[in-house]
Amino acid sequence: MPGSIRHSSAFGAQELTKDKLVNFFIAGAPKCGSTSLFRALSTHPEISFGRSKEPHAFVGSLQLRGSTSIEAFHELHDFDRDFKVFGDASIMHLYSPDAAQNIARYNPDAKILIMLREPADFIVSYHHEQVYNGVEDDLPLQQSWELCEDRRQGKQVPLRCPDQLLLDYAEIARFDVQVERFLGAFGKDQVRVGFLSDIQTSPEAFLEHLLDFLDVSRDPDLVLEKHASAKTYKNQFSRNLVRVLSHPSVLSTWKKLRSFVGISGRLRLLNRIKVSSTVSGKKSAIDPQLKENIRNHYAASWDRLHALTKDIRLMP
């Protein structure tokens, strides 16, 4: 049928017209400014991000808590409303080995924004976030870094971690390989790369370039505000309570119970407790030698990334 896309069995047998597809993806990486961009762009009259920031409908083989189906993904968006851009900000799409091709099969005309930052700084922030979310054990970064090889083999992976790949700190910041997957799926015209430093130093100019890329009107009222960088719990009791409620056995029991009783929805108590117990905190200082080791580990990848993205930088 002209003007429609027939999805493969991976997304269910369905036809969707091109004006009822999400056409803009902030694909990642995490801790690189995506939340600030999501909040700013959500106020633009021509842009809608639906009712969830990170449904992660296209991650494929990468296991994530809370990832959704393509059917549920579409229910998040009001395609009948008069928006020019329907967006998604699922920041683990970048790391997923399958997401670029999955998104391209879903909408080959989609535009992609990839946000990045210097690998060592990224690893510090990412590790802190995984500890806060309970995906990572409460370990110092040095110890987590040293566990990478064991975890690739499935050893010492925390029970709350849905996929050991999420804790492979020696691979997750290979941004050159990740960007290359999206370039291969979409081409240079549809992919732009920005850096956290860009929005920190020139937020207004960054937004102007992004709105031009999306082919929507410039909006002088858009404000790119800094999102709270580091989260932690008010006290140890709150941390322990969240960890108990997020234990796989508890979540599995709740899933069976709601299915038996006919309740729809997730364990919302967990989210409420987590939100009410969260405060802004500080990331642990990284040992200078460890930071240097991480930079050296990723040096070739970082250099290659800059060569790969010289023609697709959002900020010239």
Which long-range CB contacts under 8 A does 16-20 form with residues at least 24 apart? 16/74, 18/107, 18/109, 19/79, 20/74, 20/79
- 54 in any annotated domain: yes
Give residue-wise pLDDT tens across range 279-313.
566 667 789 999 999 999 999 999 999 999 999 99
pLDDT at 181 over 90: yes
pLDDT digits (tens, 9 = 90+) for 63-103: 998 788 888 898 899 998 999 999 999 999 999 999 999 99
**30 touches 128 (CB < 8 A):** no
pLDDT digits (tens, 9 = 90+) for 191-202: 999 999 999 999
**Domain range for 59:** 4-10+17-118+172-228+298-308
CATH number at 64 reads 3.40.50.300
Which pLDDT tens digit goes with each residue over 211-243? 999 999 999 888 888 765 666 666 666 666 666
287 CB-near residues (< 8 Å, 6+ apart): 142
pLDDT of residue 86: 96
With residue 231 as reference, give the H or E element that holds it. Answer: strand 231-233
Residue type, 275: V
Whether residue 84 is contained in a domain is answered as yes
Domain count, the chain: 1
In a domain, 83, yes or no: yes
Is residue 107 a part of any domain in this protein? yes
Question: What pLDDT digit, counting tens, does each position of 77-88 carry?
Answer: 999 899 999 999
Residue 163 lies in a domain: no
Is the residue at 128 inside a domain? Answer: no
Is 110 a member of any domain?
Answer: yes
Average pLDDT estimate for 162-186: 97
- Predicted confidence band of residue 8 (pLDDT cuts 50, 70, 90): very low
160 domain residue, yes or no: no
Q: 216 or 3: which carries more pLDDT confidence?
A: 216
